[in-house]
Structure 1
């Protein structure tokens, strides 16, 4: 007669399903918190307190001048992109350089005289930043031309010269777009362009170029702008193409004219 089959004993120390769920939830909480902290740091948010009066003033200015394209709540429309997350730096750059409000549609927004006072630009930047955080205004210490100009020139050649020209004179891009000249551009707007990536420009976060790197680039650009060219007339600093064209037209033209004159004298 066969003996009765024993029921398998329950394994000791078996984990409860609720413990697994709790561990997963705890991991998600820590992962989300870490990602949020990293995003805030990498975006360059600043914890600068702004007055409610400035935010309210900026909201009125935004509603009167920007909401038609970007929406009353910065959500964007068919005529303009969303501004949620662009931060104060983007507003200060776009409005401070006169690119916004946009005068007419085209391949890109050209720089033009600014329509607003510094206080108005600051108010609109405060309002946009109050709705959603993003890259903040640069600290004054990184706008000084006290960095390493040699290192800054090298960083500029590696990261920027393919579009802006090695001398910062600008250059043509595809589809009617262009990289503007950096001569005469303020240090503040150069820094803001690097952290926000306007138009076709890539974003150079602090993970790509540290604030010290950006200061070195600004130092190099300002040094080059203020130092006269040792070779004489720059020809727009457009490089060998402009120089070769000048030599071809005027140099060869002078040789032809001299040849004609000598021939005429001989006859």
Structure 2
């Protein structure tokens, strides 16, 4: 091999990149890309934070559109009511949230009372509807978290429930029948917010319990006692729906007397 070829080969060998250089370039690229992404994410987050207030202000506007499309036929464009539905003046956000989030509204048809059914709106839409009604005709508002915390006087709440509520809702909160096709629903799975809303707004045939009838602390105690019932195991075993002597008597009639008759028939057949 000539000297010139050797020199050319050495120059080519000396010009090759080290394998570490490629790894370094990849690392630098990843760091740069990560930095750009982090900066863009922070900018988007800041934008979302800045627009959070405007979104909350716009919820009433969204609620107005939902109301006009789904509620105005019965309640009127200005909440004034019609022949098909009552006025919503003064019902407040608490009543709207209760009625819509339990599926009672919109009603499918006129009847003795609005029954629960699958909810037709999302949580955000329900809050928007409530915010719109509250902005037009203010009424009862959401309670403080303390009222719903379940840390009230359970014994006092149970006594108040027996005095004020059990005649319709049953002492075990299992509900009961009323007159003319109406009924008091069971509240064994009802949320604390909806218990409070029912007491304050008086839906269907329920009376309104304002602070003159039941103070905020009284309401807290009643809610605490009902939440206690929901979480407490039944010491007597199978509750038979907690409907009292009707279901218990039917159970005894069918299984108790039926069992005695079966034993008597067995004894007779055995003796024969």
- Considering the TM-score relative to the shorter chain, is it more than 0.5? yes
Within the candidate set 103, 109, 122, 2:114 is matched to 109
Range with greater deviation from structure 2 (224-233 or 114-123): 114-123
Within the candidate set 125, 129, 132, 2:134 is matched to 129
| More helix as a share of residues | 2
Partner Cα distance (1:100, 1:56) in 2:
20
Deviation at 1:159, TM superposition (A): 0.4
1:201 corresponds in structure 2 to 206
Q: Counterparts in 2 of 1:87-236, with a 5 A limit? A: 87-236=92-241
Deviation at 1:52, TM superposition (A): 3.6
Number of aligned residues = 218
For the aligned residue pairs, the C-alpha RMSD in angstroms reads 1.2
Partner Cα distance (1:186, 1:226) in 2:
12
TM (norm. structure 1) is 0.79
Partner Cα distance (1:111, 1:212) in 2:
28
Within the candidate set 53, 74, 79, 1:74 is matched to 79
1:31 corresponds in structure 2 to none
1:12-60: CA deviation from partner (whole Å, max 9, x where unpaired): xxxxxxxxxxxxxxxxxxxxxxxxxxxxxxxxxxxxxx95412111111
- Whichever of the two has the greater Rg, that structure is 2
> What SS does structure 2 have at the residue aligned with 1:248?
helix
1:136-194: CA deviation from partner (whole Å, max 9, x where unpaired): 11221111111111111000000000000000000000011100010111100110010
Partner Cα distance (1:82, 1:107) in 2:
18
Choose between structure 1 and 2 for higher RCO, CA contacts under 8 A separated by at least 6 residues: 1
Partner Cα distance (1:185, 1:112) in 2:
14
Deviation at 1:132, TM superposition (A): 1.4
1:243 corresponds in structure 2 to 248
Moved over 6 A (4+): none
1:261 corresponds in structure 2 to 266
> Structure 2 regions of 5+ residues with no counterpart?
1-54
TM (norm. structure 2) is 0.78
Deviation at 1:104, TM superposition (A): 2.0
1:66-113: CA deviation from partner (whole Å, max 9, x where unpaired): 001000000111110110111111101001111001122221111122
